[in-house]
Structure 1
Amino acid sequence: MQPAAHVEVEVAPKRLSRRQAKRQGRDSFETTALAAAHGDQTALEALPALVADAERHYKAKEWEQRRWDTLAIAIRDVVDDDVLTEAEERELFRLADALDLDLQTLAVRDMAVFEELVIAGLNDGRLPTVDAPVMLKSGETARATFGVALMKEVTVREMRGGSHGVSIRVAKGVSYRVGAARAKSVVVGTQMQVQDVGVLTVTNQRAIFTGDKRTLEFRYDKLVGMEQFSDGLRLNVSNRQLASLFRFSASSSPAIAAAFISRQE
């Protein structure tokens, strides 16, 4: 009896679902983008094809966000050591170009990542020079400008305890009021109000606020306190009794301002 002939049957590869294809394309896209961010030339050259393939799985707005998220992941991976070298910065710009993104608009898209990127560059010792809206002293260099509002704390009061009393008629056309009491003004709290609006210029020697109503100078050799908030910065100098609180505009960063001031060149 002859043994049965062995027949090989080709099995068609299982077709990936849309979700699986999207995940596979996304993983390959992100992995290659990270490699490109670290200077892998092969990855950078392969990225355009992967970008085109990944784009097919997303809607327009979703795809734009996906690219920005990928760039943010790459940036944080590169500056994980809190330092951004010139070479690393060049690679990030090349990655942004490959993703068809403008790295200059990162502050608008993701301020937190932008802050990390700028501060990492400062940690590498690379300090920018900008035009200043103030007269600079000899040897002074403007590093950055920020749109801010000078705030002041004001006391909130309200009237309490007043009474109209009771009117008693004692004769025709004559009445007498008893029990009336004046209301008293009492403090019920405080609130912050805008005192002035202007620009905070940070130089290598001082910070200068130039507003519509006043100008304030904060020399670093007289700086005795600095407190950073999520949207503001408080500066205290020894030659001024009260600290000055600045609220930063949405496009300005108190973290970056504090980083410049902390260097105190």
Structure 2
Amino acid sequence: MSFFAGIKAKWNAKMDKVLKIGDFDKQLTEIIADGVVTNNELETIKRLIQEYGLTEKDLNIVGVKAFRAAFKAMMSDNIITQQEESDLLAIKDILCVQNELVTKEMAVLLEHQELRNIQNGILPVIETGGILLQRDEQVHFLLDCSLREERVVRRSYQGGSQGVSVRVAKGVSFRVGQHKGRMVSERDVVVVDTGNLAVTNKRIMFLGSQKSFDVIYKQLIGYQVYSNGLDVHTSTGKTRQIIFDNKQFKADVLQLILDRVTIQ
């Protein structure tokens, strides 16, 4: 075989592989388009890989794209079921997709797995060394936060007047319109301490550097979880406001944990 013939053969082989990868990509896209991947479809993907002689390097070209497309289709309802998670992981393995290339998607899968576990009564258990727990008490949620309370932030007098002196005769005058002012207090919600919020199977605890409290669930009359915080309403009429500045805070996780522990 001549030098140029060898180059031509390599070029033809390369173009043939490009065409095969393109055809595989097209069929793969059709398979995962509906967000449902059956066992038969998984077997079809395996068969196509073998028929086209695709290597792990070849799959890197289309694997991440296909995995993300499948992930997007399955997340169209904002819920990843256990079956969908299994399908995604199967696609990931078949297409040799590395975790570091789909870190965002894998983090979402782990979060949905945690939510499903909590819904099924399997709550996370956090080992803590600095919290004195009661017998059979377990910590299910722990995160740094700040405690906010309504406080008087400013006081001022308003409405006072010395009045006007009116002379009615020589050496005789009256002062009219004189009255005392009143003190006005301005209130606002301010940070009073920083620390950690712990949710256990028995109570909610705030452990701060200057102020701490706990609320057993019998004293709890309501709670509201926000995207960045939590309001705790107690039977004493006091509301505790917790703010989470930590980006690791997951409102859905805290909501489900509280829903579980408060009905036990």
Amino acid across the alignment from 2:247? A
2:35 match: 34
For residues 120 and 260 of structure 1, the distance between their equivalents in structure 2, rounded to whole angstroms, comes to 11
Give per-residue Cα distances to partners, 1:147-187, cap 9 Å, x unaligned: 22111123454757689x9xxxxxxxxxxxxx999986545
1:4 match: none
Query: 1:35·1:43 contact (CA, 8 Å) conserved in 2?
Result: no
Amino acid across the alignment from 2:29? S
Query: 2:148·2:189 contact (CA, 8 Å) conserved in 1?
Result: yes
How high is the sequence identity, in percent, across the aligned residues?
19
For residues 102 and 135 of structure 2, the distance between their equivalents in structure 1, rounded to whole angstroms, comes to 31
2:98 match: 100
Amino acid across the alignment from 1:100? Q
Query: 2:99·2:106 contact (CA, 8 Å) conserved in 1?
Result: no
Query: 1:36·1:43 contact (CA, 8 Å) conserved in 2?
Result: no
Gapped runs of 5+ residues in structure 2? 1-21, 50-55, 163-176
Indicate whether 1:126 and 2:122 are aligned. Answer: yes
Indicate whether 1:214 and 2:211 are aligned. Answer: yes
Query: Against the structure 1 CA distance between its residues 139 and 242, is the aligned structure 2 distance closer, same or farther, given a 3 Å change threshold?
Result: same
| Correspondence 1:23-102 to 2 at 5 A | 28=29, 31=32, 34-35=35-36, 41-42=42-43, 52-53=61-62, 71=71, 73-75=73-75, 79=79, 84-85=81-82, 89-93=85-89, 99-101=97-99
Query: 1:151·1:195 contact (CA, 8 Å) conserved in 2?
Result: yes
Indicate whether 1:152 and 2:149 are aligned. Answer: yes
Gapped runs of 5+ residues in structure 1? 1-20, 56-62, 166-178
Amino acid across the alignment from 1:123? Q
Give per-residue Cα distances to partners, 1:203-241, cap 9 Å, x unaligned: 222222111112211212221111222211111233x44
Query: Against the structure 1 CA distance between its residues 53 and 255, is the aligned structure 2 distance closer, same or farther, given a 3 Å change threshold?
Result: closer
Indicate whether 1:242 and 2:238 are aligned. Answer: yes
Amino acid across the alignment from 2:74? A
Give per-residue Cα distances to partners, 1:56-105, cap 9 Å, x unaligned: xxxxxxx8xx976863553565836xxx54x6555555556755346996
Larger Rg: 2
Q: TM-score, normalised by structure 2?
A: 0.58
For the aligned residues, what is the CA RMSD?
4.8
Secondary structure of residue in 1 paired with 2:121? coil
For residues 38 and 77 of structure 1, the distance between their equivalents in structure 2, rounded to whole angstroms, comes to 22
Query: Against the structure 1 CA distance between its residues 196 and 161, is the aligned structure 2 distance closer, same or farther, given a 3 Å change threshold?
Result: closer
Query: 1:162·1:182 contact (CA, 8 Å) conserved in 2?
Result: yes
Amino acid across the alignment from 2:243? R
**The one of 188, 193, 198 aligned to 1:196:** 193
Amino acid across the alignment from 2:215? F
Instruction: Give the paired residue count.
Output: 213
Secondary structure of residue in 2 paired with 1:53? helix
Amino acid across the alignment from 2:125? T
For residues 51 and 207 of structure 1, the distance between their equivalents in structure 2, rounded to whole angstroms, comes to 48
For residues 205 and 256 of structure 1, the distance between their equivalents in structure 2, rounded to whole angstroms, comes to 17
Query: Against the structure 1 CA distance between its residues 198 and 76, is the aligned structure 2 distance closer, same or farther, given a 3 Å change threshold?
Result: farther
Query: Against the structure 1 CA distance between its residues 37 and 89, is the aligned structure 2 distance closer, same or farther, given a 3 Å change threshold?
Result: farther
| Aligned-pair CA distance for 1:29 | 7.9
For residues 30 and 234 of structure 1, the distance between their equivalents in structure 2, rounded to whole angstroms, comes to 46
Amino acid across the alignment from 2:191? V
Query: 1:157·1:185 contact (CA, 8 Å) conserved in 2?
Result: no
Give per-residue Cα distances to partners, 1:96-137, cap 9 Å, x unaligned: 675534699659977xx8765533332133222211341222
